[in-house]
Amino acid sequence: MIVILLGPPGVGKGTQAVRLCDALDLRHLSTGDLLREHRRGGTELGTQAQSFMDRGELVPDELILGMVRGELEALGDGGVLFDGFPRTVPQAEGLRVVLADLGRSLDHVVLLVADDEVLVERLSGRRSCPECGSVFNVHFNPPATEDTCDRCGHEGLVHRTDDQPDTVRNRLEVYRRQTEPLIHFYQAGSPGVRRVDADQGVDEVQAGVRAAVDG
Ligand code: AMP
C-alpha cells in the first residue's frame, strides 16, 4: 500500500503517520525527518538543504526527488506512507514517474485539515524525538514521562528551530502557495483525496484516517 498524508505544518501529520504505520506495517517516509538526518550526518544533501530549511522555504524539487527515489528503491515492494511529500506539483509529477518506473501505484491520498490558529498553537507546543521521529505536544499530547519518547525511550525531545513563530508563519504561507495546489492535482485524478478534520483529539483523528484508508 502507498499512502500520501497531506496537510499544513502543525496539522498532526507526523503523529498520525507514526500511528498508521504501526497499525498497517508501513514504512514512514518523512522527507523532513530524512533531511534532518542528512543534516546531522553532515552529508552534501544535508548541507545543500540547510539554508532552505532554516528559513522555512522548500528544498529544491530535484534534491527531494533524488532522495525519495533512493529510499523507494532501497525499500523494495514494502508499504509506504509519505509524510510531508510531495510538497509541490512538480514533486507529485516526479513521484508518478518514480512509481511507474518501480511498477508501483498510489493507493490513498489523505488530507488533514485545521484552521491556522490551531496550527500555530500546535506548532508552538510541539516536541519531537530526534531518534525515531515521534511527535508530541506539551499541551495536547504530552509524553507519559516528561521529555522522554514514549515510543523508543529516547530522553531529550526537541523543539525544532523552524517551529519558532516567524518561521512558522512563513511555512504556512509556503504551504498555501506551493503545496495547496496539490489538493486539486490529486482531486482531479485517481485515487482522489479524502479529507479528515484534524481539529479533534489524536484518537478521533486517527479513527478518521483509518476510515479514509479502509474505505
Ligand atoms: P517538515 O518536517 O515536513 O515540516 O519539513 C521541514 C522542512 O524540510 C521544510 O520546511 C522544508 O524546508 C524541508 N522539506 C521537507 N520535506 C520537503 C519536501 N517534500 N519538499 C521540499 N522541502 C521539504
* b/e per residue 21-60 (b: at least 16 CB within 10 A): beeeebebbbbbbbbbebbeeeeebbeebeeebeebebbe
Residue 188 lies in a domain: yes
The set of residues, in sequence order, having a beta carbon less than 8 Å from that of 173 and lying 6+ positions away, is: none
- Determine, yes or no, domain membership for 83: yes
- Structural domain of 15: 2-114+172-214
> Do the domain assignments include residue 128?
no
**In whole angstroms, what is the distance from residue 190 CA to residue 40 CA?**
37
Question: Is residue 167, in this structure, part of any structural domain at all?
Answer: no
- The pLDDT, as a whole number, for residue 206 is 97
How many domains does one find in the chain?
1
Mean pLDDT, residues 9-30 taken together: 94
Residue 122 lies in a domain: no
Q: Does residue 65 register a pLDDT over 90?
A: yes
Of the ranges 58-67, 92-101, 134-143, which one carries the lowest mean pLDDT score? 134-143
Nearest protein CA to atom 8 of ligand 1, as residue: 32
Residue 121 pLDDT exceeds 90: no
**Residues that are catalytic:** 13, 87, 126, 160, 171
In a domain, 25, yes or no: yes
Is the separation of the CB atoms in 4 and 86 below 8 Å? yes
Distance 142 CA to ligand 1 centre (A): 24
Q: What is the pLDDT of residue 164?
A: 82
Is the distance from CB of 126 to CB of 119 less than 8 angstroms? no
- In CATH, what number is assigned to the domain containing residue 18? 3.40.50.300
Q: Quick count: other Cβ atoms within 10 Å of Cβ 80? A: 23
Question: Is 158 inside any structural domain?
Answer: no
| Residue identifier of the C-alpha nearest atom 2 of ligand 1 | 32
- Domain membership of residue 153 (yes or no) is no
**Residue 140 pLDDT > 90, yes or no?**
no
Among 59, 168, 174, which residue has the most ligand 1 atoms within 8 Å of its CB, making it the best to mutate?
Answer: 59
- Cβ–ligand 1 distance for 32 under 6 Å, the answer yes
Cell digits of residue 93: 509529477
Q: What is the pLDDT of residue 124?
A: 86
Residue 165 has pLDDT above 90, yes or no: no
CA of 67 to the centre of ligand 1 (A): 12
Residue 173 scores a pLDDT above 90: yes
